Amino acid sequence: MIQLKSMLNCIDNSGAAVVECVNVLKKKRAATVGDRIVVVVQKQRSFASEGAGGSISNKVRRGDIRHAVIVRVRKEMQRPDGSSVKFDDNACVLINKSGDPIGTRMNGVVATELRGKQWSKILSLAPLHV
């Protein structure tokens, strides 16, 4: 359950490490997996230089306001088959206005509920769906 001032980990390689939710879009209540939110980048990820290839540039900087999709929540979710699932942290993926992920790689699992909410581009980049 993500609401105003909730802190989330950013699991893509866009350059953000920790973001803070400032708005939940198209909902009056708290957001959950698959919902779109507006975030502010609080902590920037520092990439080590890649030897001969140079350094990887960050696509976002601290203080940037971006849209994001929630991919994991701590709150337990009930699935239609009767099982329930919860994660260790709250996590999101940064997206642009049209809904495409800013990063090109994800590190960490994402919830399968994204499939029902048409976030197939995020599912294709993720290493594992739970």
Residue 20: inside a domain: yes
d(CA 57, CA 87): 30
Q: What is the pLDDT of residue 45?
A: 87
Q: What's the total number of domains in the chain?
A: 1
Residue 85: inside a domain: yes
Residue 52: inside a domain: no
Q: What is the pLDDT of residue 64?
A: 95
Residue 110: inside a domain: yes
Residue 51: inside a domain: no
Quote the domain boundaries for residue 63.
6-46+57-129
**If DSSP codes are grouped into helix, strand and coil, which group holds residue 113?**
helix
pLDDT tens-digit readout, 43-100:
998 866 555 444 567 899 999 999 999 999 999 999 999 999 999 999 999 999 999 9
- Specify the CATH number for the domain of residue 33: 2.40.150.20
Residue 46's DSSP bridge partners are none
Residue 38: inside a domain: yes
Name 45's Cβ contacts closer than 8 Å, sequence gap at least 6.
Answer: 10, 15, 16, 17, 58
- pTM higher than the cut 0.85: yes
